Structure 1
């Protein structure tokens, strides 16, 4: 096992690449990328870094030259032979050759497109523009670089024994969480912590802790590189990016209203009926379920990623019952800012009423709260989102208005088209 404190200490002397592989990314990005490659590859999309936690002034913490050095290194990466073999030949979700030959040939020759970086008001403006399949693969590495460089800026001020004690405390915290979870039979927990992790080494350590501590309760990781190296399941389906871009490409209000369902129709065809998990909250869960075609009710389950998770699960259960489905056979994946108390509470409420599962993210792989003075390693809310497609702005409404994004006039239009009324704001930690 890597001595993380010593490795962090050595960051001071030379570049230690934060992203070492193109598959150091979330599995759902590759699944979505293949769908986009086959369905909307000509769309020109812009992604932009968005720091929701304005109090953390990244451009004052992170050296621009160092940031560029890491971004340029990522642009030099391409798939290794071993990585390509794993993607081509491995079984994912019980299916061999999840990734088709034409997509794999394109991916094997891919190097990420250029980026644009500026400083403004204490923040970095980092954008990526190009064909959707290529530019979308910047999202996760961009986030992991910014998150880790922010951490390194704090850690570089610490001496070696301070680092040893810090990581000992953080490891103890993770193991105490694991110990609470391992006492509950029937739990299903996956690591969803790539995008806002403390570091790659730390995420890898956390996954090893879950493998040993949780046994069959741990069902896999979203991180492809870790899944390959640790021989665990790669977990993931799709994200808000798909309906956001499809909606931006719609020419009329009628096409806009159908965009979220067109995404899932294309997804169903792409994956031949596998990976049938609905993410309904991009433009409001209520309207999505109300107008959803009947064939979606037969899908495997729903992922809940905003709003009150218990209310959203109750709404999903009621929807399935109304559509003649048995919710006890349906999967509900909770994935919004979870920690142990949330997981245990939601499992107690919904076990037996559905098949609850949990994507444990930032508060697994980046919970250093209270471990350094000034809480300078506390996690914060950093995202990298598609902000335009073919020159049109994207919109996300969410079930939490604090997560919404887009120009005000477009937000108003989307609320009208999707029938979104008053929403209750919920603080966004991560």
Structure 2
């Protein structure tokens, strides 16, 4: 097992590039990339960094030269032979050859496209422009780089013994969480923490600790490289990016209303089993389910990623019942702002009524809250989103209006088209 504190103290960052591989990314990103490669390869997109936690002055904390060095390193990466073999030959969700030969041929020759970086005040403007299948693969590594550079900036001010104590406390904190979860009968929890992790080494440690501490209750990790290296399941389906871009490409209000279902129609042709998971909250869960075609009710489950999770789950259960489906056969994946208390609460509330699973993110892989003076390592909310497609702005409404994004006029149009009424605001912490 890696002695993380010693590795940090030695400051040998050249042997620890933040992103070590093109598959040091989330599994859903590769699945979505294949879908985009097949269905919308000519679409031109722009992705942009968005720091929701404006109190964190990234440009003051993270050196621009170091940031460029890490981004340039990512552009030098290509798929390794063993990684290609893993993707081509492994079984994912019970399916062999999840990734087609045509997609793999393309991916094996890919280098990520250029980036544009500019300092604006105490923040960075970081954007990526180009073809959708290429640009979309910047999202996760860009976030990982900025999160870890911020961590390194703080860790670089610490002495050897202070670092040993810091990581001992962080390990103890995580192990206590694991012990809190261990008694939950039938628990299913996965690591979803790549995008806002403390560091690669720390995420890798967390995955190993979860495996030992929770046994079969730990069902896998979203991180492909760690899944490959640690021989655990790669977990993931799809995300808001797909309906956001499809919707931006819609030329009429009617086409806009249909766009989120077009996404899932394309997805339906490619996947079956547990990959048939609906993410309904991009433009409001209630309206999405009300207008959903009947064939979607037959899908495996729903992921709840914004708004009050219990309310979202009840909405899903009632929808399945209204469509003649038995909720006990369905899967609900909770994935928004989770920590152990909320996981235990939701598990107790819904276990036995539906199949329940949890995608545990930032508070698994980056909970250093309260462990440093001034709380300088507390997690914060950083995202990298598609902001335009073929020159048209993207919009996200969410079930939490504090997560909404897009031009004000377009947000109002989308609310009208999708019938979104009053929403309850909740704090976005991570």
Distance change (3 Å), C-alpha of 1:214 and 1:309: same
Deviation, structure 1 residue 391: 0.3
Query: Does residue 68 of structure 1 match 2:68?
Result: yes
Who is 1:353 aligned against?
353
Distance 1:102 1:315 in 2: 39
Distance 2:270 2:358 in 1: 25
Supply the RMSD in Å over aligned alpha carbons: 0.9
Who is 1:391 aligned against?
391
Who is 2:20 aligned against?
20
Give the 5 Å matches for 1:45-194: 45-194=45-194
Who is 1:251 aligned against?
251
Distance 2:250 2:11 in 1: 47
Distance 2:126 2:136 in 1: 14
Query: Does residue 327 of structure 1 match 2:332?
Result: no
Give the 5 Å matches for 1:192-211: 192-211=192-211
Deviation, structure 1 residue 90: 0.0
Deviation, structure 1 residue 15: 6.5
Give the 5 Å matches for 1:368-387: 368-387=368-387
SS in 1 for 2:302: strand
Q: Is the 8 A contact 1:47 1:384 kept in 2?
A: yes
Deviation, structure 1 residue 12: 6.2
Distance 1:261 1:218 in 2: 32
Q: Is the 8 A contact 1:46 1:386 kept in 2?
A: yes
Who is 1:304 aligned against?
304
Who is 1:294 aligned against?
294
Distance 1:273 1:198 in 2: 32
Deviation, structure 1 residue 270: 1.9
Deviation, structure 1 residue 9: 1.2
Query: Does residue 232 of structure 1 match 2:253?
Result: no
SS in 2 for 1:24: coil
Distance change (3 Å), C-alpha of 1:273 and 1:216: closer
Q: Is the 8 A contact 1:268 1:274 kept in 2?
A: no
Who is 2:419 aligned against?
419
SS in 2 for 1:135: helix
Q: Is the 8 A contact 2:93 2:273 kept in 1?
A: no
SS in 2 for 1:416: helix
Deviation, structure 1 residue 10: 2.0
Q: Is the 8 A contact 1:302 1:331 kept in 2?
A: yes
Distance 1:102 1:418 in 2: 36
Q: Which runs of 4+ in 1 moved over 6 A?
A: none
Who is 1:212 aligned against?
212
- 1:183-215 Cα distance to aligned partner (Å, 9 max, x none): 111000000000000000000000000110000
Q: Is the 8 A contact 1:12 1:156 kept in 2?
A: no
- 1:338-367 Cα distance to aligned partner (Å, 9 max, x none): 000000000000000000100000000000
Number of aligned pairs? 430
Deviation, structure 1 residue 273: 6.2
In structure 2, runs of 5+ residues without a counterpart are none
Q: Is the 8 A contact 1:283 1:414 kept in 2?
A: yes
SS in 2 for 1:138: helix
Distance change (3 Å), C-alpha of 1:407 and 1:6: same
Give the 5 Å matches for 1:32-43: 32-43=32-43
Who is 2:428 aligned against?
428
Distance 1:281 1:61 in 2: 34
Who is 1:223 aligned against?
223
TM-score w.r.t. length of structure 2? 0.99
Distance 2:375 2:72 in 1: 30
- 1:307-364 Cα distance to aligned partner (Å, 9 max, x none): 0000000000000000000001100000001000000000000000000100000000
- 1:169-191 Cα distance to aligned partner (Å, 9 max, x none): 00000000001111111000000
Q: Is the 8 A contact 1:49 1:125 kept in 2?
A: yes
- 1:95-133 Cα distance to aligned partner (Å, 9 max, x none): 000000000000000000000000112100000000000
SS in 2 for 1:139: helix
